[in-house]
Amino acid sequence: MVATQANDPSFEGLELELSGLDRLDSGLPSRPSRLRRIVAAVWPKIAAIAIAIFLWQVVVWTGWKPTFLLPGPVATFKAMGTDHHALLQGAATTLERALEGYAIALVIGTLLAIAVTRLTLLRTAVTPLITGLQTMPSVAWVPMAILLFGLKPSAILFVTVLGSAPALAIGTIAGIDAVPPLLHRAGQILGARGIDRYRYVVLPGALPGYVTGMKQGWAFAWRSVMAGELIDQITGHPSLGILLATYQDQSLAPDMFGVIVTVLIIGLVLDGLVFSQLERAVLRRRGLLATGH
């Protein structure tokens, strides 16, 4: 019996019982192999893309618009092949601008969020502003940016930062607010004060919300950079925005579609391979991801 064994002064019985309970309690399902998981995660996406391309083709077949206005997938992919040099160069420029703006927004958004969660007055004052900024369409900033910075890359950077920082701040604030009060108290009792409190309790606790904010912030940065490039056309810097506008001017529909597909691909790849993976990794480590996903 439990009680009599526990009276054994050596506590060997207790040790055995504890480890017995532990074994019973902590049975974990084994994770399927890496290849299996990748295949299971990838094939539905590929199927969805194939269906989307097929639907596009169906619309072209119906003859709704002449093919010089609405080219089919084949013509578009061919044009992409011919233009691949310009596309790659343009993608590099645009991506660099987006990442630069995103990095600045990351710093501003994070610091803003920490300030807001620390100071109640600031929170009351600026939270509606941040939310308002997030609903503002990026294109609406471009004329002002051109007035302030001229037809220069800094104008595009300005628009990108303005587009991305609010989403990052909102995500971070939500993340910090979501840290359970019990963990704050645990940190306090363990002696985590000042910087230590942020380093060991607040920031790691806020990480799931932060990563969601990072993901959203990236989506906004990518959109904003495209808006900026379409309007603020800086000559001599071949970017995706410029290519898009140029092909439209020259009525090169397949080439223009090729740029759109490129923009889409970059967006999908970064979200799917970088941010979504990061988010899942964070959630899985904390047991917040249902098994089998």
Partner 1 sequence: MSIGHQPVTASTEQEAPRVIRAPAVALRGVSKAFGYAGDRVWALDEISLEVGKGEFVCLVGASGCGKSTLLNLIAGLEKATAGTVERPGGDAALMFQDAALFPWLTVSRNVDLALRLRKVPKPQRAARVAELLELVHLEDFANRRPHELSGGMRSRVALARALAQERNVLLMDEPFGALDAITRDLLHDELERVWREANLAVVFVTHNVREAVRLGDRVILLSSRPGRVAEEFLINLPRPREANAPELANYATVITNRLREEVRRHGSDAGE
- Write down the least CB distance from residue 237 to partner 1, Å: 42
Least distance (Å) between residue 193 CB and partner 1: 9
Contacting residue, 82, 154, 188, 251, with partner 1 by CB under 8 A: 188
Q: Does 55 bind partner 1 (CB under 8 A)?
A: no
Q: How far apart are CA 159 and CA 176, in angstroms?
A: 27
Q: Which of 106, 145, 167, 207 binds partner 1 (CB under 8 A)?
A: 207
- Binding to partner 1 by residue 192, rule CB under 8 A? yes
* For partner 1, the closer CB: 237 or 284: 284
Report the residue number, 164 or 212, with the smaller CB distance to partner 1. Answer: 212
Contact flag: residue 190 with partner 1 (CB under 8 A)? yes
Does residue 10 touch partner 1 according to CB under 8 A?
A: no
178 binds partner 1 (CB under 8 A): no
Of residues 191 and 292, the one with the C-beta less far from partner 1: 191
28 lies in the site for partner 1, by CB under 8 A: yes
Which is nearer to partner 1, 37 or 286 (by Cβ)? Answer: 286
Closer by beta carbon to partner 1, 14 or else 70: 14
What whole-number distance in Å separates Cα of residue 284 and Cα of residue 282? 6
Q: Supply the minimum distance, in Å, between the C-beta of residue 175 and partner 1.
A: 12
Q: What one-character-per-residue DSSP string does the chain give? A: -HHHHHT-TT-HHHHHHHHHHHHHH---PPPPPHHHHHHHHHHHHHHHHHHHHHHHHHHHHTTSS-TTTS--HHHHHHHHHHTHHHHHHHHHHHHHHHHHHHHHHHHHHHHHHHHHHH-HHHHHHHHHHHHHHHHS-GGGGHHHHHHHH-SSHHHHHHHHHHHHHHHHHHHHHHHHHTS-HHHHHHHHHTT--THHHIIIIIHHHHHHHHHHHHHHHHHHHHHHHHHHHHHS--TT---HHHHHHHHHHTT-HHHHHHHHHHHHHHHHHIIIIIIHHHHHHHHHHTT-S-TT-
Which lies closer to partner 1 via its Cβ, residue 1 or residue 46?
A: 1
Q: How far is the CB of 209 from partner 1 (least distance, A)?
A: 13
Other residues' Cβ atoms within 10 Å of the Cβ of residue 35: 8
Q: What number of chain residues touch partner 1 (CB under 8 A)?
A: 36
The interface with partner 1 within residues 99-128 (CB under 8 A) comprises: none
Q: Are 186 and 161 within 8 A, CB to CB?
A: no
Binder of partner 1 out of 12, 19, 111, 119 (CB under 8 A):
19
Query: Which residues lie near partner 1 (CB under 8 A)?
Result: 2-4, 6-7, 9, 11, 14-15, 17-19, 21-22, 25-26, 28, 182-183, 185-186, 188-192, 196, 200-201, 204-205, 207, 285-288
